[in-house]
A and B are shown apart, each in its own frame.
Chain A
């Protein structure tokens, strides 16, 4: 979709993208100057996007159907058609980098680099970088909801972890910027408020369980209210 006088945003994501997409369906009309195309694939299916003729194309039919469904009919990502990119979710969690446990900064940097490099988020970011120099944003998987699941919470303050990863990622790939999770969605800088995990729904990809509720025990996926806050926060940064 390329429309004059609008900022054109391409958002790629896995199941977490559902909350953003449904939020955009809700609030899109408030943003006359912005057009967004969503390219979604559940789980790790977006690893099937490959560079071909300076575009990202699906390497299998299942993924092709998924991105066509989420984008409203577009079957490849042509970077010429967009001003800005966002990769969202895609296995990139902020947790797991223990900043305050006495590990050396060099070790932590290499550890964080390895963690990011192992994600589909990085795969797509570096793939995009081979076909475009346009700014790309990275949105991490939402912090797990505060259900007292200590193992899923951050062990260090969000800002410290965020800033650490920001430096690592921006050092790894040019013109890539990490996006913060909105403050108002977080509890004590360690997890997402549990209200945002309630009634989260599966991303619609043309499957029979499109928009079905996630199980109540799912602390990782967030609802459309979260999606709206996240998206508004993001659009403030880019638009």
Chain B
């Protein structure tokens, strides 16, 4: 007798994986808690997180948007101005340190910086450099918008039932003097890079873990009923600032992020992990969910991931989830807002 004898078939590669075609594998996730249509679900994080919000909405879930766009706005207008991308107009939050920064700003724990970048008569938010397609008209307008986004983020903390965070990167850029973080290296999306003002850090496990755990603690302290779902973006890095090949840098980042997600899921009962990363990236799926550049995730891949998400919920909690109407899930807008992709322009 040994412990493996009592393991289920899903614990063994042969009976869980190699005996099946790749599309029959699963379920990969046994959710810790149910998400129902009445739960307010907020989404933040890296580019891939945008798919989660859209998928929730398409299936009739309550994807909570705390910074809504005026009624009657076209989809094109929303997209150009980055509305309905995340639950507040935060822009991409790639790192756990950036998440903590947003949490601390919105809860008044840390002061919000007043740094503003200016170029050709327009003003750009260092913390949301592409949030407006043409920049802001004035410094005042920018600061007002930033305040509004921070207030909206706070609303998400206070009112959400489920907080979904998609971790994207370990590589981060900071202001030397004030120690606050930028989502993008200054001088890439906007602004100007200055070695004396800015520094780079490729965060290790301890740092990523500490920042995420603290973010969760702070949010939970304000909202006792909130639960968390962590995911790791399966999208490789566009570029690395380390001396490693970008493939290695990607593997490092994703490994650290995955390990942190796993550790916190183990430690904290109201934190769960959904394996979108594994579905897209595991060799089992042979890379079929990637676009030809082996970086972008295809609409088929997005749908497969999200179908898996909802199917696992259904299997665990026995409820019928809303199916999108015919044709709605067939085409997913994979043209997500991805500031990180701007780094591609600097490649030789």
Point out residues on A near B: beta carbons under 8 Å: 96-98, 101-107, 110-111, 114-115
On whether A110 and B80 interact (CB within 8 A), knowing A102-B144, A104-B136, the answer reads: yes
**B70:A105 contact, CB within 8 angstroms:** no
Chain B residues in 8 Å Cβ range of A104: 81, 132, 136-137, 141, 145
Contact at A105–B141, with CB atoms within 8 Å?
Answer: yes
B interface residues, Cβ below 8 angstroms from A: 70-74, 77, 80-81, 132-134, 136-137, 141, 144-145, 147-148
Q: Which residues in B have their C-beta under 8 angstroms from that of A98? A: 70
- In contact, A102 and B145 (Cβ under 8 angstroms): yes
- Nearest CB on A from B70, distance (A): 5
A110–B77 touching, CB < 8 Å = yes
**Besides the known contacts A102-B144, A107-B132, A115-B72, 5 further A-B residue pairs in the complex with CB atoms under 8 A apart:** A102-B145, A104-B137, A104-B145, A106-B133, A110-B77
* Docked pose: A104 CA to B136 CA in angstroms: 7
Instruction: Tell me which of B71, B72, B133, B145 has the highest count of chain A C-beta atoms within 10 A of its own C-beta.
Output: B72
List the A side residues contacting B77 at CB < 8 Å: 107, 110-111, 114
Write the nearest CB–CB distance from B85 to chain A, whole angstroms: 14
CA distance A110 to B73 in the complex (A): 10
Q: A110-B77, A111-B77, A114-B77 are in contact. Are A103 and B137 (CB under 8 A)?
A: no
A104-B145, A106-B137 given; A111·B132 CB < 8 A: no
Distance, CA A104 to CA B81, complexed state (A) = 9
Residues from chain B with Cβ under 8 Å of A106 in the complex:
132-134, 136-137
Q: Are B72 and A102 in contact (CB under 8 A)?
A: no
Nearest Cβ in chain B — how far from A167, in angstroms? 13
Q: Which residues of B contact A96 (CB under 8 A)?
A: 70-72
**Contact in complex: B73, A111 (CB < 8 Å):** yes
A153: shortest Cβ distance to chain B, in Å?
14
Q: Which residue of B lies closest to A151 (CB)?
A: B71
The CA of A10 and the CA of B216, in the complex, are separated in Å by: 65
A-B contact pairs, 13 of them (CB 8 A): A96-B70, A97-B70, A101-B70, A104-B81, A104-B136, A104-B137, A105-B141, A106-B132, A106-B134, A110-B77, A111-B72, A111-B73, A111-B77
Report Cα–Cα, A103/B74, bound state, in Å: 15
Q: How many angstroms between the C-alpha atoms of A106 and B77 in the bound complex?
A: 11
Min distance, Cβ B81 to any Cβ of chain A, angstroms: 5
Residue numbers in B under 8 Å from A115 (CB-CB): 72
Residues of B within 8 A of A97 (CB): 70
Within the assembled complex, what's the spacing in Å between the Cα atoms of A96 and B70?
7
Query: Nearest chain A CB to B123's CB is how many angstroms away?
Result: 10
Minimum CB–CB distance for B343 against chain A, Å = 25
7 pairs of A and B residues whose beta carbons are closest in the complex: A102-B148, A105-B137, A107-B81, A106-B134, A98-B70, A102-B144, A104-B132
Contacts of B148 in A (CB 8 A): 102
Cα distance A107–B69 in the bound complex, in angstroms: 10
The residue in chain A whose Cβ has the minimal distance to the Cβ of B141 is A104
Q: In the assembled complex, which residues on chain B have CB atoms less than 8 Å from the CB atom of A101?
A: 70
